[in-house]
Structure 1
Amino acid sequence: MIKHLKMAALALVCSAAGTAQEVEFTEYNLDNGLHVILHQDNTTPVVTTSVMYDVGGKDRINGKTGFAHFFEHLLFDGTENIPKGKWMDIVNANGGTNNANTSNDRTYYYETFPSNNLKLGLWMESERMLHPKITQEGVDTQNEVVKEEKRLRMDNAPYGQFLSSVSENLFKKHPYKDPNIGYMDDLDAATLDEFNQYFDQYYAPNNAVLVVAGDIDIKETKKMIEDYFGPIPSGKKVSRNFPEEDPITQQINAKTYDSNIQIPALIQAYRTPGFQDKDSYVLNMISTYLSDGKSSVLYNKLVDDEKIALQVGAQNLEQSDYGIYFIFGLPLGENSLEAVSNSIDEEIAKLRTELISEKDFKKIQNKAENNFVNSNSSIAGVANSLARNYLLYGDTDLINEEIEIYRNITREDIRRVAQEYLKPNQRVVLDYLPETEDNKTE
Structure 2
Amino acid sequence: MKKNLLTVAAAMLLGSLSFAQEVAYEEYDLDNGLHVILHQDNSAPVVTTSVMYHVGSKDEEPGRTGFAHFFEHLLFEGTENIERGEWFGIVSSHGGSNNANTTQDRTYYYETFPSNNLELGLWMESERMMHPVINQIGVDTQNEVVKEEKRQRIDNAPYGKVIYGTGINPFLFKNHPYKESVIGSMEDLDAAKLEEFRAFNEKFYNPNNAVLVVAGDIDFSDTKKMINDYFAPIENHAPKPERTVVKEEPITATIMETEYDSNIQIPLKIFAYKTPSMKERDAYVLDYISTLLTGGKSSRLYKKMVDEQKIAMQVLAFPRSMEDYGTYIIGALPLADTSLETLAESIDEEITKIQTELITEREYQKLRNQFENNFVNSNSSIQGIANSLARYYMLYGDTSLVNKEIEIYRDITREDIKRVANEYLKKNQRLELDYLPEPAE
TM-score by length of 1: 0.95
Residue of structure 2 in register with 1:57 after alignment:
57
Equivalent of residue 392 in structure 2, options 384, 389, 399: 389
What's the CA shift string for 1:175-218, capped at 9, x where partnerless? Answer: 11111100011000001110000000000000000000000000
Deviations 1:90-118 (CA, angstroms, capped at 9, x unpaired): 00000000000000000000000000000
Pick one of 417, 430, 433 that aligns with 1:414.
417
Whether the aligned pair in 2 keeps the contact of 1:271 and 1:323 (CA below 8 Å) is yes
Amino acid at match of 1:402: E
Deviations 1:218-254 (A, max 9, x none): 0110000000000000231201234311110000011
**Match for residue 177 of structure 1 among 176, 179, 192:** 179
Q: Alignment partner of 1:199: what SS?
A: helix
Q: What is the CA distance between 1:64 and its match in structure 2?
A: 1.2
Give the structure 1 partner of residue 290 of structure 2.
287
- Structural mapping, 1:324-335, within 5 Å: 324-335=327-338
Alignment equivalent of 1:233, drawn from 232, 235, 260: 235
Deviation at 1:63, TM superposition (A): 4.0
Give the CA deviation at 1:326.
Answer: 1.1
Match of 1:220 in 2: 222
> Whole-Å Cα distance in 2 between the matches of residues 414 and 12 of structure 1?
25
- Work out the CA distance in 1 between the residues paired with 2:204 and 2:32: 14
Alignment deviations for residues 331-360 of structure 1 (CA, whole Å, 9 cap, x no partner): 001001110011000000111111001110
Segments ≥4 residues shifted beyond 3 Å: 9-16
Change over 3 Å in CA distance of 1:84–1:12 after alignment to 2: farther
Matched-pair contact (CA < 8 Å) for 2:53–2:209: yes
Larger CA deviation: 230-239 vs 218-227: 230-239
Q: Is 1:246 aligned to 2:245, yes or no?
A: no
Q: 1:188 aligns with which of 185, 190, 196?
A: 190
1:274 corresponding residue in structure 2: 277
RMSD of aligned Cα (Å): 1.7
Q: Normalising by structure 2, report the TM-score.
A: 0.96
The answer on whether the counterparts of 1:298 and 1:313 sit within 8 Å (CA) in structure 2 is no
Q: Distance in 2 between matches of 1:373 and 1:435?
A: 43
- The equivalent of 1:3 in structure 2 is none
Indicate the residue corresponding to 2:208 in structure 1.
206
SS of alignment partner, residue 359 of structure 2: coil
Determine the structure 1 residue equivalent to 2:46: 46
**Does residue 363 in structure 1 map to residue 374 in structure 2?**
no
Q: SS at the partner of 1:392?
A: helix
Structural mapping, 1:89-128, within 5 Å: 89-128=89-128
Cα distance in 2 for partners of 1:388, 1:307 equals 41
Does residue 1:83 correspond to 2:86, yes or no? no
Q: Is the 8 A contact 1:50 1:210 kept in 2?
A: yes
| Offset at residue 291 of structure 1 (A) | 1.3
Percent same amino acid at aligned positions? 64
1:373 and 2:372 correspond: no
CA distance in 1, matches of 2:113, 2:291: 35
Query: Which residue of 2 is the match for residue 140 of structure 1?
Result: 140
Q: Take 2:62 and 2:347, find their aligned partners in 1: how far apart are those partners?
A: 42
Residue by residue over 1:66-85, the C-alpha shift from the partner in whole angstroms, topping out at 9 and shown as x without a partner, is 00000000000000000000
- Assess if the C-alpha contact under 8 Å between 2:245 and 2:324 holds in 1: no
In structure 1, list runs of 5 or more residues that go unmatched: 1-5
Q: What is the rounded CA distance, in whole Å, between the counterparts of 1:67 and 1:339 in structure 2? A: 41
- More displaced 10-residue stretch of structure 1: 232-241 or 326-335: 232-241
Alignment coverage as a number of residue pairs = 433
State whether structure 2 residue 300 is matched by structure 1 residue 297.
Answer: yes
**CA deviation map 1:145-193 (0-9, x unaligned):** 0000000100000001122111011111111111110001100000111
SS at structure 2 position matched to 1:58: helix
- In structure 2, how many angstroms separate the alpha carbons of the residues matched to 1:348 and 1:371? 24
Q: 5+ unaligned residues in a row in structure 2: which ranges?
A: 1-5
Q: Look up the equivalent residue of 2:337 and give its one-letter code.
A: E
CA distance in 2 between counterparts of 1:90 and 1:10 reads 48
Alpha-carbon distance, 1:20 to partner: 2.2
Amino acid of the structure 1 residue aligned with 2:93: A
Letter in 2 for 1:342: E
Amino acid of the structure 1 residue aligned with 2:235: P
Q: Distance in 2 between matches of 1:415 and 1:12?
A: 28
1:314 Cα deviation from its structure 2 partner: 2.5
The residue number in structure 2 matching 1:316 is: 319
Cα distance in 2 for residues equivalent to 1:34 and 1:18: 31
The residue number in structure 1 matching 2:352 is 349
Letter in 2 for 1:205: P
Deviations 1:366-398 (A, max 9, x none): 111110011000000000000000000000000
Output the CA distance in 2 between the equivalents of 1:29 and 1:18.
Answer: 29
Secondary structure of the residue that 2:59 maps to in structure 1? coil
Partner of 2:67: 67
Whether contact under 8 Å (2:271, 2:330) holds in the other structure is: yes
Task: Give the Å deviation of 1:61.
Answer: 3.4
Residues of 1 paired with 2:395 and 2:330: CA distance?
Answer: 25
Shift of 1:55: 0.2
- Alpha carbons 1:284, 1:315 under 8 Å: kept: no
SS in 2 for 1:244: coil
